[in-house]
Amino acid sequence: YVSANCFAAYFCPNLCQMKTLLPPKERVGVYGDGNVKVFFVDENDVGTYAIKSIDDPRTLNKTIYIRPQDNCLTQNELISKWETLTGKSLEKFHIPGDEFLASMKDLDFASQVGIGHYYHIFYEGCLANFEIGDNGAEATQLYPEVQYTRMDEYLKRYI
């Protein structure tokens, strides 16, 4: 099993905003205080690590976690990278956790699931708040030769 964390294409260009894949132009919603760490991973890098792990005896019967340290960012850090690249500041508005959860009321099941995932990721920090145990291995440590995509480079595609 490969735990790829947050696919860059779904989370980075939109600065983690739901319902869009494009960068915000003026305002950006910040989940809570925006300081929860998240791992962002380019989809091509996910493929590279998955392929490398296929015949590697160190990965047999283990979960492979892709946790590139340079891509362990808070939402605030991701927004800051975007603002630095574009030279523009975005207006930020904070979304408290209880309001975020309340927003799923009366939504269809698929939307509720999406909001639930976002809550676990950006409010509870479920992707980065644990140590990898004996039944897992971290891909960037197993394969340090892989030059994974950093998110500041990834974001340049959208300028």
Task: Encode pLDDT of 111-149 as tens digits.
Answer: 999 999 999 999 999 999 999 999 999 999 999 999 999
Is 2-151 a domain of CATH 3.90.25.10? Answer: yes
> Following DSSP, what letter does each residue of 43-92 receive, concatenated?
HHHHHHHHHHHTT-GGGTT-EEE---GGGEE-HHHHHHHHHHHHT-PPEE
Q: What is the mean pLDDT of the chain?
A: 96
pLDDT tens for each residue of 50-67: 999 999 999 999 999 999
For tokens 């005896």, the residue is 57
- pLDDT of residue 1 exceeding 90, the answer is no
Residue 14 is predicted with a pLDDT of: 98
Q: Is residue 3 within 8 Å of 39, Cβ to Cβ?
A: no
Domain ranges (residues) in the chain: 2-151
